Structure 1
Amino acid sequence: MNTLGVALVGHAFMGAVHSHAWRTVGRVFDLPVRPEMVVLCGRRKDAVHEDAARFGWAEASDDWKAVLLRDDVHVVDICTPGDSHAEIATSALEAGKHVLCEKPLANSVAEAVAMAEAADRARRSGIQAMVGFNYRRVPALALARELIEQGRLGQIRHVRAQYLQDWLVDPRAPLTWRLQAERAGSGALGDLGAHLVDLAQFLVGDDIISVCGLVDTFVPERPLVDDAERTGPVTVDDAALFTARFRDGALGTFEATRYATGRKNGLRIEINGSTGSLAFDFESMNELSFHDATEPAGTAGFRRILATEPDHPYLSAWYPPGHLLGYEHTFTHQLRDLLIAIASRTTPSPDFAAGLRVQRVLDAVQRSAAHHSRWIPVEEASR
């Protein structure tokens, strides 16, 4: 079996999650290639060496550019803040490395365009690039995609999506990089809304073509991370709301906030079609609600599908029916799909072009909010 050496850039929350997935994927799935955890990269030398040992990486480095020169590194996994995605990803692709980049793909449309173009050039040489929208890999949501593809919902008419968190409710929470536009690009819109946009487009198999949005920042100043006596400006949104129209005519409503008191990771999506509906709540992530409107009215209604059967997506490799999976499994599934794509020399999904499409929608929402909630064509976001 061929071995693919992996370098992971970034070792905070997402780095820890991705590390667990790299440790796990080859032990669960029968893969055409074997990943090897070669090196963990980070800016703080002592911290990255400590985390490399803790997470199971063979080596540590504080110089990602030097890592790209190594012959034993074939895949670069990027888990850094958005302001560094474009430089690391394009450099890695130009060095002949396969790339997995966390979402959102970039902090701007211009950066995302450059990344998608670099990925397209690299693909001609057999180098693949994927953007990390892990919620596509929830078995219940992958099953929802299959049901929609089979026509079980008929003509899609409505998409309702929410991503609700509350970790910023306390105004004394520090001014981390996620609250700074120069690092994160946007706030709840990019952090949470990106997932909703990708998931909606993935599930219905259609693109958003226009949006009307608004954003707000509830707490404009927060304590500095290294000096709680001083404050700095919050330069991103705390909440974003927008309506959308899909190319085939469906209507969408989207809400992303980090101020929904009591909601920890409340990703919800409901899709209504002419012959059925689907509903999902990540806080019950092994369940999918399905309504078949073609059944007699006397017995029709939403029913729970427990997505743990071996013929459900990804689940033949795991546990007996009824034994539930968790958040971390979605990242293992993501790596499984990436490694199969690399081995078969096929374009992984979602590729950087899909990440660019999400970026255009996010940009259109920001433009709409800046123009008093005017409807904005998504194509206009690239100008």
Structure 2
Amino acid sequence: MIAYNQRFNKAHIKAKQIIQSGELGRVLSFKTTFGHGGPESWSSDKPDTWFFHKEKAAFGSMGDLGVHKIDLMRFLLGEEFVEAAVFVTTLAKRYPNGELIDVDDNAVCILKTQSGAIGTVTASWTYPGSEDNSTVIHCEKGSITLYGDPQFSMIIKYANGQKAYFELDTMQTNEKQTKSGVMDEFINCILTNTPPKISGEEGLKTMKVVFACFESAKTGKIVKIDY
């Protein structure tokens, strides 16, 4: 089982149900962000954390944060991404000797789904003093905002001007850990001999998007995602 914990957030589960019901019509666009001040602020081996070394981590902010938001959007939208156009770069994080780290600290991805919806996935280790773990999904009949408000985990804004507010749960952060649901799901799979919903195969589909993002950043071209 892959620990994509954002699939277990109550507001994300509720949003998926609403999208699948067709209440808001077809999804047209989205934007989702996962950014904070960087792993060196909490990693046990700070400040020269293993997160900053390619031979140990392989990827930077995209592998640490972006992968969760890509998987979340696959989960929420219920379809695969087919194309990626991406900037992946290193802007600020440095080793103790002053040299820039050899993995990315920022990434902005434009992704297109099978149905033609387009949106952005942003991952960053350079949001000092705050964390952004929010998602906005724009549909034909309204928009859903997830974890973008300090009180309400989900806000629906309908095209007719009405709004609906939901206090379902809070987003886990490095400073405020909450029950993620990952271990409950994993243990239940063992006890009931049930295949996990987030299997290795499912995790690979998300990683295929990550691989395409890095290829796009390297080549400067739109990349078709090969599953």
User: Which residue number corresponds to residue 378 of structure 1?
Assistant: 225
Aligned residue type for 1:134? N
Question: How many Å separate the matches in 2 of 1:163 and 1:221?
Answer: 20
User: Which residue number corresponds to residue 262 of structure 1?
Assistant: 129
User: Which residue number corresponds to residue 215 of structure 2?
Assistant: 367
Question: How many Å separate the matches in 1 of 2:171 and 2:143?
Answer: 24
- Give the counterpart of 2:29 among 138, 158, 162: 158
Q: Are the equivalent residues in 1 in contact too, given 2:2–2:199 (CA < 8 A)?
A: yes
> Could you say if the C-alpha distance between residues 259 and 352 of structure 1 is closer, same or farther in structure 2, counting changes exceeding 3 Å?
same
Question: How many Å separate the matches in 2 of 1:143 and 1:255?
Answer: 23
Q: Are the equivalent residues in 1 in contact too, given 2:86–2:107 (CA < 8 A)?
A: yes
User: Which residue number corresponds to residue 215 of structure 1?
Assistant: 88
Listed as ranges, the gaps of 5+ residues in structure 1 are 1-129, 224-229, 309-323
Aligned residue type for 2:118? L
- Give the counterpart of 2:199 among 351, 376, 379: 351
> Could you say if the C-alpha distance between residues 183 and 343 of structure 1 is closer, same or farther in structure 2, counting changes exceeding 3 Å?
same
Whose Rg is larger? 1
Question: How many Å separate the matches in 1 of 2:207 and 2:141?
Answer: 31
User: Which residue number corresponds to residue 103 of structure 2?
Assistant: 236
Listed as ranges, the gaps of 5+ residues in structure 2 are none
Question: How many Å separate the matches in 1 of 2:50 and 2:71?
Answer: 23
User: Which residue number corresponds to residue 181 of structure 1?
Assistant: 54
User: Which residue number corresponds to residue 290 of structure 1?
Assistant: 156
> Could you say if the C-alpha distance between residues 292 and 345 of structure 1 is closer, same or farther in structure 2, counting changes exceeding 3 Å?
farther
Give the match's secondary structure for 1:192: helix
Question: How many Å separate the matches in 1 of 2:188 and 2:94?
Answer: 46
> Could you say if the C-alpha distance between residues 342 and 284 of structure 1 is closer, same or farther in structure 2, counting changes exceeding 3 Å?
farther
1:211 deviates by: 0.2
Aligned residue type for 2:7? R
Question: How many Å separate the matches in 2 of 1:245 and 1:325?
Answer: 26
Within 5 Å, which residues of 2 pair with 1:274-353?
274-281=140-147, 284=150, 287-293=153-159, 297=160, 300-307=161-168, 328-331=177-180, 333-353=181-201
Structure with the larger RCO, 1 or 2 (CA within 8 Å, 6+ apart)? 2
Question: How many Å separate the matches in 2 of 1:202 and 1:239?
Answer: 23
Give the match's secondary structure for 1:350: coil
Give the match's secondary structure for 1:355: helix
Give the match's secondary structure for 2:134: strand
Question: How many Å separate the matches in 2 of 1:279 and 1:231?
Answer: 39
Question: How many Å separate the matches in 2 of 1:249 and 1:337?
Answer: 32
Question: How many Å separate the matches in 2 of 1:334 and 1:214?
Answer: 31
Name the TM-score, length of structure 2 as normaliser. Answer: 0.86
Question: How many Å separate the matches in 2 of 1:291 and 1:143?
Answer: 15
1:237 deviates by: 0.4
CA RMSD of aligned residues (A): 2.5
Q: Are the equivalent residues in 1 in contact too, given 2:154–2:165 (CA < 8 A)?
A: yes
Provide Cα deviations, 1:63-108, integer angstroms capped at 9, x if missing partner: xxxxxxxxxxxxxxxxxxxxxxxxxxxxxxxxxxxxxxxxxxxxxx
1:274 deviates by: 1.3
Give the match's secondary structure for 1:157: strand
Provide Cα deviations, 1:296-324, integer angstroms capped at 9, x if missing partner: x3xx233311226xxxxxxxxxxxxxxx7
Q: Report the number of matched residues.
A: 220
1:175 deviates by: 2.4
Question: How many Å separate the matches in 1 of 2:126 and 2:112?
Answer: 26
Aligned residue type for 2:139? G
Which structure is higher in helix share?
1
- Give the counterpart of 1:194 among 55, 64, 67: 67
1:325 deviates by: 8.3
Question: How many Å separate the matches in 2 of 1:200 and 1:255?
Answer: 12
Aligned residue type for 2:125? R
Question: How many Å separate the matches in 2 of 1:182 and 1:285?
Answer: 40
> Could you say if the C-alpha distance between residues 240 and 232 of structure 1 is closer, same or farther in structure 2, counting changes exceeding 3 Å?
same
Question: How many Å separate the matches in 1 of 2:18 and 2:212?
Answer: 30
1:286 deviates by: 5.5
Question: How many Å separate the matches in 2 of 1:248 and 1:344?
Answer: 36
Question: How many Å separate the matches in 2 of 1:131 and 1:286?
Answer: 28
User: Which residue number corresponds to residue 16 of structure 2?
Assistant: 145
User: Which residue number corresponds to residue 272 of structure 1?
Assistant: 138
Provide Cα deviations, 1:149-200, integer angstroms capped at 9, x if missing partner: 2222211111211112123799xx7321101111111111111101110111
Aligned residue type for 1:247? Q
